[in-house]
A and B are shown apart, each in its own frame.
Chain A
Amino acid sequence: MTAFVQLLVSGLATGAIYALVAVGFTLLWQTSQTINFAQGEFVMLPAFFVLAAMDAGAPFWLAAAIGMVLSVAILGLLFKLVIVDPMLKYGVLPLVISTIALSLFLKESAKDFYSSLGQPFPPLVPATDVRFLGTVVSAQSLAVLAVAIVTIAALHLLLNKTRLGRSMQATAQNPTLARILGIPVGRMVLYTFLINGALVAIASILISPIYLAKFSNGETLGMAAFLAAIIGGFNEMRGAILGGVIVGVLDNLSAAYVSSQYRGAFPLLILVAVILVRPHGLLGRAEERTV
């Protein structure tokens, strides 16, 4: 039972990070039909912004803030202006290919500028244990889980309880109607890119102490978050959260209780099952488009 609780907490912590990244996937898709195949590299990069700031002498929390600002500016604003806006008018496929090219560029650039070696990354909290109900759980996992939950809750409040959030949702559901209603659609779309920039920065700061900061981290993270978004529903934020948690927990439990060799196969099996039974994802909505 103790082992199960440890695995569950650890899986939830990893799953919560996947959820943050998957939410970014769904936000971009809903507002601008952007499938960002560089999303994994977007999570990899802010860790290096933080390390660069620390190398320049900044303490961790200041470096994390700098990493967040740079992430929002470069992976949010610049990404939209330089890649998405010019490419989107040619359809989804050229944009997908552009983001694949961007992922390679980011990965190789991180390698060139910061070497191919994994770099130690400071944890949010010291490596201590927390005991409850007879089990020992690491404080790091709980901290990761707490930060991820607070972030998702804040995003939920922003989207559902504020005028700005409702305008963003209206833009996602029907941009033409939103424009008629006077909502500045372009600005709303920009906000989702900025939010995605912030989400990947938070995910990066949470995951890098576990994964180490490394140029190739995006491969694993991008794939896990993409699976999570599809399993949960690409057009529903709650679905992405559920998908992230499922992938994280399932990965840990299957590795411990079924087979560590085949751990990578289990999320894929779930994906296949979901596509067969509910093609729009566990919490996603079936969408119809006029062609």
Chain B
Amino acid sequence: MVRAAMVRAALFAAVVAAGLGLAAPLHAQTTVYIPAILELSGAGAVSGTNFRDGMLMAIDEVNAKGGILGRKINVEVLDTQSDAGISRAQLQKVLDNSPYVVLGPVFSGSVLVDMLLTQQAEIPEIVGGEGAAVTQKGDPYVFRTSFGQQFSLPKIANYIHDDVKAKTIALLWVNNDFGKGGRDSFIKEMAARNIKIVADVSTESGQVDFAADVVKIKAANADAIFVYTNEEESARFLREAKKQGITAPLIGETTLLGQKVIELAQGAADGVRGHVGLTIDAPIPAVTEFADHFKKRFNYLCDHNGIKGYTAVYIIKYVTEKMGKFDSKLFAETLHGLTISPKDEPGVLMELTFDKNGDIDRESFLGEVVNGRQKIVQILPKLGK
């Protein structure tokens, strides 16, 4: 009696196991697993949230049109809390589920930690990090969605030298991988143009009080001030700078001119100038249309990270359809040296080219904040042109 019951139980277990075994491949064949490791809280929350929302918008669009090669994108979004250690743990978790491609993170410090794992697993990682070091390690599986500092900072340096005509400059930077990488590149570029750095002020990620830093910067009496911090810190700095009556031109990168910074700075961002690799204010119809859809869906104005997340998904779609199959290793090989035009894949919004290191090249912009909006004053061509 007992033996018969045990046999029945074993049979039942075997049927269930077989069912699960059959169901798993069926499920896997209808979807493709693309996880995202992003800064949804902590100092990088602005960047990570924008990246996530842009990415989700693209995924919904792609899935609504039947997915990639007939397979819908199965996305899982995990929060790094803007911490490199947590980012690595989250990545380890998703790597156990054999992802096709990994999206994120945005903070360069987290990217530098994570890319060791994706390289080992031979899984491509499309990141938002702009730190110069990301693509200087010979990792064939890491790809950017925006300019690295080694490409964007020479453009700013030219602007400071040729247009602002500054002879002295004060530098304020955030003490993380992004900020340190930017500071080192910027100092090199300034030296090459014979511009003297009269103040070199380090700030902390997540810093809230900038009174002392602004006093130091103001005392340096520089011709211009270069600000290289993350978005929320940029906004806090701008508010304090306005409070203390700073009059020298404030110049920065996308993290100083982004829409969220403008919103948080509440008027203190007016007059800020700089180089923006990606912006919703670019005079490009596809970008404007994307920004309108984004605003309609998420009820806020997207910044450059939203464009990074959105285009990353379409890069995956284009490359995979070009290959005609899902092969992570081949994906990385195919993307190196590839140019994707909006004519071939409208979702990339602007023509882009990847080099052998995973760096991206696109047109970029010089912008200025006027009446609470970013205004593009000049379009800079692709570096390769």
| Segment among A174-182, A185-193, A209-217 that sits at the interface with chain B | A209-217
| Segment among B37-45, B62-70, B130-138, B360-368 that sits at the interface with chain A | B37-45
- Are B41's CB and A120's CB within 8 A? no
- Are A117's CB and B49's CB within 8 A? yes
- Are B41's CB and A216's CB within 8 A? yes
Contact of B202 among A118, A260, A264 (CB under 8 A): A260
Task: Mark out the residues of chain B between 199 and 222 whose CB falls within 8 Å of any chain A CB in the assembled complex.
Answer: 201-204, 206, 208-209, 211-213, 215-216, 218-219
Chain B contacts of A69 at CB under 8 A?
A: none
Q: Does B243 contact A (CB under 8 A)?
A: yes
- Are A111's CB and B41's CB within 8 A? yes
Interface residues on chain B, number (Cβ under 8 Å): 35
Q: Which residue of B lies closest to A136 (CB)?
A: B245
A-B contact count (CB 8 A): 92
Q: Does A26 contact B (CB under 8 A)?
A: no
Assuming the A-B contacts A129-B245, A212-B264, are A252 and B175 also in contact, with contact meaning beta carbons closer than 8 angstroms in the complex? Answer: no
Q: Does B30 contact A (CB under 8 A)?
A: no
- Are A127's CB and B268's CB within 8 A? yes
- Bound together, the chains give a CA A11 to CA B199 distance in angstroms of 22
Task: Mark out the residues of chain B between 38 and 96 whose CB falls within 8 Å of any chain A CB in the assembled complex.
Answer: 40-42, 45-46, 49
Q: Which residue of B lies closest to A258 (CB)?
A: B212
Chain A contacts of B263 at CB under 8 A?
A: 120
- Are A138's CB and B236's CB within 8 A? no
Assuming the A-B contacts A120-B264, A255-B213, are A115 and B244 also in contact, with contact meaning beta carbons closer than 8 angstroms in the complex? Answer: no
Chain B contacts of A214 at CB under 8 A?
A: 232
Task: Mark out the residues of chain A between 105 and 142 whose CB falls within 8 Å of any chain B CB in the assembled complex.
Answer: 111, 115-120, 127, 129, 136, 138, 140-141
- Are B209's CB and A6's CB within 8 A? no
Q: Does A164 contact B (CB under 8 A)?
A: no
Considering residues A115, A118, A140, A216, which has the most beta carbons from chain B within 10 angstroms of its beta carbon? A118
Q: Does B317 contact A (CB under 8 A)?
A: no
The digit string for A199-232, where 1 denotes a CB below 8 A from any CB of B, is 0000000000011101111001000000000000
- Bound together, the chains give a CA A75 to CA B198 distance in angstroms of 48
- Are A6's CB and B215's CB within 8 A? yes
- Are A211's CB and B236's CB within 8 A? yes
- Bound together, the chains give a CA A141 to CA B215 distance in angstroms of 14
Interface residues on chain A, number (Cβ under 8 Å): 36
- Are A260's CB and B236's CB within 8 A? no
The digit string for B174-206, where 1 denotes a CB below 8 A from any CB of A, is 010000000000000000000000000111101
- Bound together, the chains give a CA A6 to CA B245 distance in angstroms of 11
Chain B contacts of A118 at CB under 8 A?
A: 45-46, 232, 235, 264
- Bound together, the chains give a CA A215 to CA B236 distance in angstroms of 16
Min Cβ gap A135→B in Å is 11
Q: Does A74 contact B (CB under 8 A)?
A: no
Contact of B211 among A111, A115, A129, A252 (CB under 8 A): A252
- Bound together, the chains give a CA A263 to CA B260 distance in angstroms of 28
- Are A212's CB and B236's CB within 8 A? yes
Q: Does B341 contact A (CB under 8 A)?
A: no
Chain B contacts of A7 at CB under 8 A?
A: 211-212, 215
Chain A contacts of B236 at CB under 8 A?
A: 210-212
Contact of B219 among A3, A14, A263, A264 (CB under 8 A): A3
Chain A contacts of B45 at CB under 8 A?
A: 115-118
Q: Name 5 extra pairs, CB < 8 A, besides A119-B264, A210-B209.
A: A3-B215, A117-B260, A140-B243, A212-B208, A251-B209
Closest CB pairs A-B (n = 10): A255-B212, A10-B211, A116-B45, A256-B212, A116-B41, A138-B243, A211-B208, A3-B215, A118-B232, A252-B212
Q: Which residues of chain A have a CB within 8 Å of any CB of chain B?
A: 3, 6-7, 10-11, 14, 111, 115-120, 127, 129, 136, 138, 140-141, 210-212, 214-217, 220, 251-253, 255-256, 260-261, 263-264
